[in-house]
Amino acid sequence: MKATITHNDVLFTVDFSRPIDISIPLSADEKNPVAWYIDKPVIAPVTIGDWTGSVSRGASTNFNNIVFNPHGHGTHTECLGHITKDFYSINKALKQFFFLAEVVSVQPEVKGKDLIITLKQIQTILGNKLPEAVVIRTLPNETVKMSKNYSNTNPPYLEESAAVFLRQRGVKHLLVDLPSVDREKDEGKLLAHKAFWNVKDVNDLNADARHDATITEMVFVPDEVADGSYLLNLQIASFENDAAPSKPVLYKIV
């Protein structure tokens, strides 16, 4: 189904019949991606006495507990509460769910032992565009991203100045196919997180910090999805937490 809509005073046509889900499903096996030195998720039936919540084991329903960490087990969206002393909830921060987004592909640059998405790369790719959201696909775009154990691998990350640039350009929602926008082991500096959210002091939050901006990590954008402009539907599970599992879906603008 194609529909012509107006968003932020911009008129365009969207093909809603072909949603592009760029989230990674959560599973309780080795196919699930993992980061931050934790084990895989656990999905298991509740056991109460001699009763087990599984139809295959005699119950009338399947009744599973799920144990997981949103930051380390797959696609998730986080707010500035991820790095602040005071509690802020993603469920309170994200109140709009449709955004004009730009999908960009970037080959991180080698700098010493690191792979870095640089300010110059982001400036060159975005040019004069002013999207509300940016989805960064790193190259090479290997499908192992959907099942990789990222712990102790020093994945690519975003240069602090690139995060500053995105903030200054008005980008409210940053999505990456990495476990973090920051270096895996950075002594707790979290420079890109702080720059994007404009957090100057995590213990005493500045008035101009960006409460309505989000970072989504561990997405996967298939190769057949071309770089360019899309309508993004960014949905989260309604958790009162700094982060929640999320399901970002792209729709091609035609």
Q: Tell me the residue range of the domain where 222 lies.
A: 2-26+70-252
pLDDT level of residue 3 (50, 70, 90 thresholds) = confident
Give the SS3 label for residue 146.
helix
- Residue 33 in any domain: the answer is no
- Residue 63 in any domain: the answer is no
Quick check: 174 and 181 in contact, CB under 8 A? yes
Question: How many domains are there within the chain?
Answer: 1
Place of tokens 């404009």: 198
Lowest mean pLDDT among 9-13, 62-66, 142-146, 174-178: 9-13
- Residue 48 in any domain: the answer is no
Q: What is d(CA 193, CA 127) in angstroms, rounded to the nearest whole number?
A: 23
- Residue 45 in any domain: the answer is no
pLDDT digits (tens, 9 = 90+) for 156-174: 999 999 999 999 999 999 9
pLDDT level of residue 2 (50, 70, 90 thresholds) = confident
Which of 87, 30, 96 minimizes the C-alpha distance to 232?
A: 96
pLDDT digits (tens, 9 = 90+) for 117-141: 999 999 999 999 999 999 999 999 9
Is the pTM for the entire model greater than 0.85?
yes
Looking at residue 123, its pLDDT comes to 98
Give the SS3 label for residue 158.
strand
- Residue 173 in any domain: the answer is yes
- Residue 172 in any domain: the answer is yes
Helices (H), 27-116: 90-93
- Residue 119 in any domain: the answer is yes
Give the SS3 label for residue 207.
coil
Residue 235 to residues 77, 95, 98, 204, 249: CA-CA distances in angstroms? 9, 10, 9, 29, 8
- Residue 221 in any domain: the answer is yes
| CATH code of the domain in which 231 resides | 3.50.30.50
